[in-house]
Structure 1
């Protein structure tokens, strides 16, 4: 391959040097023999190149080789007539052979252009015709017409003299088609275009030599031009890039459009240009030739513009379709869904139902089976919904793992609820992918217009609110109700007053005990922030924490929570309660360069050791910027505070990744814990998580413990600690000592729970790993 890559340049340099140096040889046999030998050697080199590079389609290259071979045979005959028979070789049978070569060259160029995909462009052939007609007019004016008017030329000379420009013009048109074909340029393509262009240029100069005395005196110099053209054809076949010219290319790049304009633009104005030049020079003016060419160029230009306009309209339509279509499922996207909702509500007495579907825990499907299977699941869900909706509804994928079905002309709310239930039922069946069966759970929300609103964006938002309600409830379809939005509509109005609320001391903390399962002892409390709003009462964190994160108030809020929590712990410890406090950190806290100093200052201010504080992070917050988060967590661990992953199982759930984090504890999400007494799958997940965490040196705190069987199973599994309403509800700092005293007074190892949340005696369990 190295030989082939360098062979074309060595061949071109050597043969071009011979082509020039052969002019130094005396006229006669020496020069003629060298000339013909270089021609036949070029043919041999072309055959070698085709054999060694083995293009996928060899026929175009064999046709080009045949064309050059015929030209070389014509050279031989020309020399024979001139040197042996001592007769004028023009016109002669040599010209017949020369002219026979052009169809082979033209066919080869056309096949290469078509192999590259030139027929896909709607104006490829028209561009070639435009250039051919424009240059044909020039050839007519400069070569053909003078030959026809020359009384000294016989019929054969006239016919041959007219034939050369015609075939050259046709070849140039085909060369234009190759130049504008799709695909990147290779060395072989440059060499081939150069070879064909040089061949046409030398032909034209030879024809002009009969009319221009200066050219006629140096006509023998043109021999070097023909030989270099032959050498370029040989070099093109030696370059390995010639294989690409026989293969179908991608769609034309934008620069091809500029190339077309540069080639076609001058041709369109050729008729008036020729007339102006003829008038300025004062010679004969070929009005009819210019008129015919002008009409042809104008008609072709109009056809070209019409076809290009139609092609652009098709592309615009395709782009509009792509802009309205989800790329994965082929369903309507959010943009089209909003437009369809607006159109549906514009009809008189319109009544529509919008059913929103969310695939629960879809990220676990992606992580378990890969994104390709995840995409297939989404496609199958979309197909089921499309089958269910039929022609009565529009199925869309607004984004992520969410789908929407818009039903028009819904008679009433009862019918709408039935539709939502049928959607829920249709997706209850497992999704089968070849040999794989994937079970999915969905939540379904419903809004009805105009009952629940008339603005498409409001309807989508309220549908999301209904979805959230369905997720938190029994997972049955949930119809939107105004009460669902009381919190969501309140949240945006809180952003402007949150910072002031911190300075006014309106944020308060409630604390929930964390009980060691093996002993029933309270080892810590979790600080849960509330906002004692002067107008809206006690607000839960879901109403203002997202706003704090969006507005940058999360930093001051966290500092206030740390200060209150550690002040409470300092007071409890002063009263003899040796417990720690757990405080939640948001993702932005981990990216705050002051977080470590804030924690250190808070501990020092209240005279507490670092072990009195546990900081809880979520999996998603640790993954928002892994490197910066890891840097902050390492610094916090060096400070001595305990680190825990909160809501484990709802995010990335990667124990391998957790191994990189300096955490000592996992807080298992209530979604897994709440069902372990009834659901064997949940039990298996919790048991395996506790076992894996133990091997990683991590302890597990189970959240959402609400009954005796759950607590008992956690004790049997060796879980370190638990918290939940079944143990104690969150309460103000002032009431925590009494709650702890009540638990401590009645506690026993692994004590079962009474319904009032107070432990009763139970047998001892194994100690926690940490």
Structure 2
């Protein structure tokens, strides 16, 4: 609010200056107009004097006199002089004229109302010369009083110029009238400008308040999860690091806790994502009900939460989490279905288990996964480094050697254009050719890679191998793009966009021929950081695809932040479009959303001709699945897919 007030004060002061300047300019212009109006009145009055008083006298002389072109030589007859004196006395007496002279072109005073023959405007004066040449001039002059001085040529009835009329008219009455008009106009201008300033001030106040609220909303959205309103990963990292530093400085214990909901995916798959979203909101509320003021609760993404519990010992943290677990497990009703939720808690204590937040999170993660695979759902890190099952540790060690020995292979699944069945791209899917266990599917080793950091070199290997293979099929005449999956950890690694750029340059692959598939959960964590990295990659010309859309928790704001070329609809919805009206509605909505974002909509898990034809009618762009082709080495991919006309043909293709 204070910054908003400062902004308003600055805006108000800044807008006052041009308003005042505008007022001064308008008044100055009006004063100039008033002076011009005074001169015009002086010229008009001098015109009347010249025509009605002077000209009749000059035209009353003899023929010889009338023929002289200059009053300096011609002069006035006694009769003319007397008539002019009588005529001008009336004007001088009633105050309409202060002083009057009739002069020849040489400057000689032929007649003066006071009988003087000297002084007057010099012949060299520009106004005198202008009047002598036939052009009247008026000027406001200042002496003891302000006076209008008019220099006007004198003409005979024949149109011949014979001299100059020098007349001084009182300016006070004109000035008083103009001043009265000026005061009246100034008040109106001032009133208008004050009203304008008040309107500008009101607009400034409203704008600054709106900007302040918008900035506050943006700050809040950048640090909070849109679904639950909880702090997100970025906020948790910032606030927990500050709290950890303070606790360590004061010698206070505490705990970092990671929480993962058990069987949450079953709720999504059974009741739909709207029920899953409602479940997460209920879980967040139940968490809040048991936490203290200093405790920090955050949603890291998906069904994973984090807690920072300062000032609590290990037993105190376990006791608190037991109460939270009890509250979480209370029955709730979603879509008319009663259910209860369970969770796994992993605890890392400080300073016992470390003094850095990332170190504590890693150890809490180990403890949490140990609980998921054991009998206890609240597990304190044991300090021996054992968290996941022994089998995971074995997989991680063997996978590291597999990378070194070249045991990994890539299979490719085609993505086809739904309209004509033409293959448009291949998705690279990694397989492990284990020397003893044969071909190991990704589900058996990718989770271990994700939690050990091996996902980073593994993704680099997949990218390099896929781009190399793409060079091979391009040489064979196939212009297919290649899609490669990347994880949230890849987006967190510094220099990942540079790695992609270097691999493209190394293999000579055009950037447009590479598509990186990012899961929704990668965007749901630290969305701002992920969007920044994705933006850098997209700037290279690489396509960006959102994988498994609908299975994660990406908000629409995340999609707005990243340049998306493709949205892949999760197979869980695609497989049910024939029998489930809600799945059909969701798939249609995702297709419309993709097209609204200027992206392609690609359906995953297409296994029947009936689904294929429905997707065509729904306007989906591309598809992949067992109906189209199973993952195989790239030389075995057929360049075209023959769209089956019947369900039996589809079943045969899948078999």
User: Which bracket does the TM-score occupy, shorter chain normalised?
Assistant: 0.3 to 0.5
TM-score by length of 2: 0.44
Please say which structure displays the higher CA radius of gyration.
2
TM-score by length of 1: 0.38
Q: When you count strand as a share of all residues, which structure comes out higher?
A: 2
Q: When you count helix as a share of all residues, which structure comes out higher?
A: 1
